[in-house]
A and B are shown apart, each in its own frame.
Chain A
Amino acid sequence: MLGFLTARQAGLDDPLRLRRAESTRRVLSLTLNPDREVDRIHGNAINTIDIEVIEGRYMLSGGADGVIVIYDLENYSGKTQYTCKAVCTVGRSNRYVHKFSVETVQWYPHDTGMFVSSSFDKTMKVWDTETLKPAEVFEFEDNVYSHHLSPIARKHSLIAVGTKDPKIQLCDLKSGSRIQVLQGHRAEVLSVRWSPRHEHILATASADSKVKVWDVRRASGCLFTLDQHNGDKTKAASEAVNTAHNGRVNGLCFTADGLHLLTTGTDDRMRLWNSATGENTLVNYGKVSNGSRKRLQFTVSRGCSPELVFVPCESSVAVYAVHTGALVTMLRGHYNNVDCCEFHPDYQELYTGGKDCNILAWIPVLRASDVEEESKSQMSTLPFRLPCEEEMTS
């Protein structure tokens, strides 16, 4: 570590190198910490969480009872022991609360004045954070599984919505109407995701085992369908041709640079795809248990090398290296199935929510010397440092 700092100081190394090395070290040491807790408001399973992009301070969570809670993640108390307090709640007593479970919540990508939530009560509501009243309600014919707003869009403000209907709807925030329908899937659409690299590219995953990538400017159809055998029709049984998985595809996540796409399916597999060509990179993650009938929210780390993907597997979260497929570790702590997880890139923290009504915060372990310095300031005299306490890594 000292080597990195000196090299950075002298200008021998790029500043990014030190940052990457330290981020990776922190991500590899994620653990549950008794000092950090998230307020328990939900009385039911937590289906979705989202951390806002602008400051990384506020977190939204949506539960199976229709309740939406906003938490403040910043610790301004000055003490190490901190509970992330709920700032406001859209509870059961609110007039406009969703009638059934909230499946997806997302902050408006450009500021925290607005957030969008979609639910099994066949509506998608655009809320005003200040007043906690919906500014807009979109109604659908079927349960809404997932929606997503593009995080980088400047030219459009479309929300892609995946419902039980095989057609994907694009709703416009500016005009408040449904302006486009993307046809192509044959069964319910479980997950939709905009690319973080190109604002017009959308990926959708469906229960018919297919993942399609669309350019919304194109009227004719999808750009391509992901094929797990890369066009080698001889590998699979003839029904499985052109499918991304051998079961329902219920999770989609782009890597931070948008060059790769990760998909998970109920065939207990996770696959990594090149998002430009649709080619299966054939990275083998082994068995990634997945029994979810709805969308699975998983996330990729940002700013580390190697990048790690955090996938909820039953009641623990599996951490894999994205490009090699090696299992790094399993994060165990929940009492029941984990449904969603979200990575906080500035502090390298992971927040996971599950059926046990808890949101757990996984914090990087502090370096040993920090703990030692605190004890030094508490004790008045310490003649010499024992060699075993010195840092082993340098």
Chain B
Amino acid sequence: MNRKRALISDTFKVKKRRNGTQKFGAVNDGDGPTDVRSSLEYLMTLFPRKLFDDRLPPIVMKHQLYSVHDDKTLVDKELNKLRERGELLMFQLGFDSDAFGLVFASDYKTKVLAGEDGRPTRATVERFLEKLLCPCTELSFSKDKMLREFLFTDSEITHLVKSGVLTVRDAGSWWLSIPNSGKFTKYFLQGRKAVLGMVKKSKYSEVLKAELEERRTTSHVKFHMKYHIHDIVGAELVESIPTTSGALLRCVES
């Protein structure tokens, strides 16, 4: 058994709390309400803007939030609330059916319009973004919907695909996407592979989180180390174990 102390159900919990007990290795204590928005903002700061010449809005993966908060269902619910309010957009990035990218709606709008500056397709894209940002919680659009609800013509849809806002999904439907995000996906997957390799090659396939953050990164790892660590912990590719010297990351055998 891997428990140091026996589990106690909520009804039997001791009411008095001892002073001075430190929880080792834990980032969050579960007492406060889960503030998903502030964790999102924190993770957005880890995104390297300069790498993409500031053309991309900061992208965070949904599973990175699972490494910050314990309760996955609660995180999912909060994200849905933010999406319904129109503050957050979710994208299917294409490399994994479960990996979703999150971008703040305001960031997305500014970056896309900045990218479209001076191009003839700008007006169409602007119109599309306006239709999109009145709360739209969908990840993909079918031709039917584009023609009827949004009142776009075929040539306008071609403009949108050219400008990168829509990506082909199958005949007659498109995913919502971030323009110029191909580079992001490439670097992300490269970096994830490199960081996972670093953990696997360590003795016993485990390494202290603090030590991993200190290590010199190869040229393959272009993002901040913490960004990748949140990613691999959230995607459950490594297990985060609390120890007396901090969090330990151990490779999950599959």
Contact = CB atoms under 8 A, between A and B. Distances in A.
B154 interface: no
Contacts of B2: 329-330, 332
Interface string B206-246: 00000000000000000000000000000010000000000
A365 B6 contact: yes
A256 interface: no
A236 B3 CA distance: 38
Contacts of A28: 6-9
B9 A237 contact: no
Given A289-B254, A325-B71, A393 B8 contact: yes
A389 interface: no
Given A240-B97, A365-B6, A21 B12 contact: yes
A392 B8 CA distance: 11
B1 A238 contact: no
A331 interface: yes
A329 B11 CA distance: 18
B7 A235 contact: no
Contacts, number: 75
Nearest to B176: A234
A284 B76 contact: yes
B201 interface: no
A282 B66 CA distance: 15
Contacts of B75: 284
Contacts of A225: none
Contact of A326 (B9, B70, B141): B70
Contact of B1 (A31, A233, A283): A31
Nearest to A25: B9
Nearest to A27: B9
A21 B9 CA distance: 8
A24 interface: yes
A331 B1 CA distance: 6
Given A28-B7, A284-B73, A332 B1 contact: yes
Interface residues of B, number: 31
Report the interface size class on chain A: 35 or more
Interface string A298-333: 000000000000000000000000001110111110
Interface string A203-231: 00000000000000000000000000000
Contacts of A392: 14
A21 B11 contact: yes
Interface in A1-15: 1, 4
A180 interface: no
A332 B254 CA distance: 17
A304 B54 CA distance: 54
B71 A324 contact: yes
A328 B6 CA distance: 11
A246 interface: yes
A257 interface: no
| Interchain residue pairs A-B with the least CB separation, the first 6 | A284-B72, A28-B7, A234-B138, A287-B236, A234-B140, A24-B9
18 contacts: A24-B9, A24-B11, A29-B6, A233-B140, A234-B138, A234-B139, A234-B141, A237-B170, A246-B98, A282-B76, A282-B77, A284-B73, A284-B76, A286-B236, A326-B70, A329-B3, A332-B1, A393-B14
Given A24-B11, A326-B70, 9 more contacts: A4-B11, A28-B9, A234-B142, A235-B92, A237-B170, A246-B97, A246-B98, A329-B2, A332-B1
